[in-house]
Amino acid sequence: MNTPKLIFDCHLDISMNAMEFNRDQRWTLENIRRCELTSTFVPAEMERHRCRNTVCFPELRKGRFGIIVATQIARYSPRFHNLPGWRSPEQAWAHTQGQLAYYRAMEECGELVQLRTWADVAAHANRWLTASDDEAAKLPIGYLLSLEGADSIVSWRHLEKSRAEGLIALGPVHYGPGIYGMGTDAEGPLTPRGRELLKEMERLGIILDVTHLCDESFWDALRCYHGPLWASHHNCRALADWNRQLSDEQIHVLIERGAVIGMAFDAIMMVHNWAHKRSKPEDFGLKIEKICDHIDHICQIAGNAKHVGIGTDLDGGYGTEQTPLDLNSIADLVTLGPLLAARGYTEADIEGIFRGNFLRFLQAALR
């Protein structure tokens, strides 16, 4: 099995790590970790994973992650809300605009290039597929813009502005209750405004990301929305029993709708009985190969390997304290190819999982 020339990652919180955790993603992994040993800029939520990051631009290039879906994220947390966030949707909007400004700054210095259309994606994929390792070390990383949780969408005018800025995908909720529906660990359907949001998304040609929708909101969304949808970073509930993961019934319907499901490498999403802030990867002997079980599960349901991709969610509010033991850097995911080959996956299957399935999806969705 050859090392992949291009990997597509459907979910990375690049700007969140840069803006909220003060990480210069141009630095090496070692330099970021060393800086955090003595950094005075340490938000409370970062304490557990300081010096444990797995993502930076050099490591993305080393692993040939040439195209990524990069997020904006900001939650609205009104008074007495039990999750951290902004006290008004307007503040949340302003925060996402700061994250967008970061992406623009990285474009200006040649680290990133935004991909808005299928022609953009196809041309950039070809650059990476034909580049040598030395050339890839200098290529810009292509990014498609996604919004995780829609609380920052103050009005449909704001949604239209985001679309004009290149937003291609949107997940209506994150954790807990939101303006537009119920997310992970919450219960209930979409709100009336959430159903309106889906209509506006469909009108504007924005992909629905079903990730984080609680079960009732998930089924509500699929009844309301008839455009393209994916699950950017989602694993299987049958193998990690938590409402954050997809049930077999949900996997079935996503396959029927032509979706691709991105495999996430957060330990809490990979195994049964992970206790948040208490469990360690060593407790489970957790290795990258465990994700092959999730891939197998989806492929058995589908009858093929065309609905699975990569959506690592690495450094998504955690670090190596919550990743497989053999994952020190995102670049280590190149080892997934031989692991899949050993299970009988063909080169075409593996190419599809690394990039081809999401690229095929985008060829249709970005028309």
Strand partners, 112: 141
pLDDT for 281 beyond 90: yes
pLDDT (tens digit per residue) in 10-21: 999 999 999 999
Rounded to whole angstroms, the Cα distance separating 170 from 200 reads 11
**pLDDT average, residue stretch 316-340:** 97
Given pLDDT bands bounded at 50, 70 and 90, which one contains residue 3?
confident
Mean pLDDT of 340-346: 98
42 has a pLDDT exceeding 90 = no
Give the residue from 143, 60, 55 showing the smallest Cα distance to 107.
143
Q: Which tens digits make up the pLDDT trace of 58-88? A: 999 999 999 999 999 999 999 888 899 999 9
All domains of the chain in start order, with CATH: 8-365 (3.20.20.140)
Of residues 3 and 320, more confidently modeled: 320
Predicted confidence (pLDDT) at residue 305 exceeds the cutoff of 80: yes
Question: Which one-letter DSSP state was computed for residue 231?
Answer: B
- Predicted structure pTM score: 0.97
Q: Kindly indicate the confidence band of residue 45, based on its pLDDT and cuts at 50, 70 and 90.
A: low
Contacts of 211 (CB under 8 A, 6+ apart): 11, 148, 171, 231, 232, 233, 234, 311
- State the Cα–Cα distance between residues 343 and 347, nearest whole angstrom: 12
Specify the pairing of strand 167-171 against strand 67-73.
unpaired
- The answer to whether the Cα torsion of 289, 290, 294, 299 is positive or negative is positive
pLDDT in tens, 134-149: 999 999 999 999 999 9
- Rounded Cα gap, residues 347 and 24, in angstroms: 36
Residue 292's contacts (CB-CB under 8 Å, 6 or more residues apart) are 336, 339, 340, 343
Give the three-class secondary structure for 113.
Answer: strand
